[in-house]
Copies of this chain bind each other. A is one copy, B any other.
Amino acid sequence: MLILMKVNATEAEIQGACHRVEELGYRPHPLPGATRCAIGITGNKGAVEADSLSQLPGVAEVIAVSKPYKLVSRDMKPEDTVVRFANSEATIGGPEFAMMAGPCGVESRDQLMRTAETVAKSGARFLRGGAFKPRTSPYAFQGMGEEGLRLLAQAREAFGLLVVTEAIDHLSLALIEQYADLIQIGARNMQNFALLKLAGRSRLPVVLKRGMAATLDELLMAAEYIMSEGNYNVILCERGIRTFADHSRNTLDVSLIPSAKRLTHLPIIADPSHAAGRRDNVAPLARAAVAAGADGLIVEVHCDPDRALSDGAQSLTPAQYDQMAVNLGGIAALVGRSVYQPTAKAAR
């Protein structure tokens, strides 16, 4: 159920409608649009008393939502969501293509700084890097923890980047909120609903990776978990699904990009590195994702991939990343996107 406010509804009328929803025992989710505001209603079992809402001042219409997801739906918000940041011109979901790059895991100050500097120079606005690594083996490198977050924060200051890093539980999430700019939820945790709810109560935007066997509907429902808690800045991420195919680590499902965009207003980016699993396929998959309409990319880059503690085989060298970024600019332009060109200052 959602309330569509009139084009000229006042802020007071919007608040009034929200207040009435709360009085009915439900939760209102006001989502401002380009021309008018919609208010999603969750917490109801079955039909809401539409009549009592449709007569409120400023309300244009009360609409039943037939899909299992509500807040993620384009029915709720026809125009694209653009995620913005307080101290940066970077956006996700707007006209500028969003480049996120960096190492799989933070391994040392030197490794991180060297890598961050080069990706910033190549136009990335976002620095990726794991401080808490969900590894298949309990005996593999599990990340540097809070020390890794500190290094990420230093790299942010040094190169003017925004930091995106993965949360794996309530403890890491709380730390990430202190140090980083975006929370990443990994593919293995896409249906860790407890973690999704916690992320939904955070003030930071969330990059939500598609699970290896998740349908589009399940991905949207996972995003709905986050939004239903009040965090409306969710970025979907296609990173390859598990199939029988054995020539790539995962199968990048590019058709998810246009299919998701029809159903949801949320931005969607792609991770060609985890899909490819090998360095020489990263650029072709990145180009394909841009051409299919992705809003951004998250790419693994390492200053010395052959010595990486994780995912070295699929990490680009800084030079490879730079070359790829140049090529992508052309394709992005053809599908109506601008690409950020760092000035000397930004990338210093």
Contact = CB atoms under 8 A, between A and B. Distances in A.
Contacts of A188: 191-193
B287 A335 contact: yes
A19 to B, nearest CB: 22
A247 interface: yes
Contacts of A134: 191, 193
A174 B69 CA distance: 31
Nearest to A212: B213
Interface string A262-298: 1000000000000110001100110111111100000
Contacts of A288: 254, 288-289, 291-292
Given A192-B188, A212-B213, A284-B292, A243 B246 contact: no
Interface string A201-231: 0000000000111011010010011001100
Interface in A128-174: 134-139, 168-172
Given A191-B134, A194-B168, A252-B254, A244 B247 contact: no
Interface stretch (A6-14, A326-334, A338-346): A326-334
Contacts of A241: 213, 243-245, 251
A189 interface: yes
Given A169-B194, A224-B137, A246-B215, A281 B255 contact: yes
A31 interface: no
A257 B287 CA distance: 12
A33 interface: no
Contacts of A114: none
Q: Chain A interface: which size bin?
A: 35 or more
| Complex copy number for this chain | 4
B293 A221 contact: no
Contact of A243 (B193, B228, B251, B258): B251
A252 B211 CA distance: 18
A243 B216 CA distance: 13
A88 interface: no
A291 to B, nearest CB: 4
A287 B192 CA distance: 32
Given A293-B284, A334-B330, A213 B244 contact: yes
A192 B193 contact: no
Contacts of A135: 193
A56 interface: no
Interface of A: 42-43, 68-70, 134-139, 168-172, 188-189, 191-195, 197, 211-213, 215-216, 218, 221, 224-225, 228-229, 241-248, 251-259, 262, 275-276, 280-281, 284-285, 287-293, 327, 330-331, 334-335
Given A211-B213, A241-B243, A331-B334, 14 more contacts: A43-B139, A68-B136, A68-B139, A138-B224, A168-B192, A168-B193, A171-B194, A189-B192, A213-B242, A243-B253, A245-B256, A248-B259, A254-B285, A258-B280
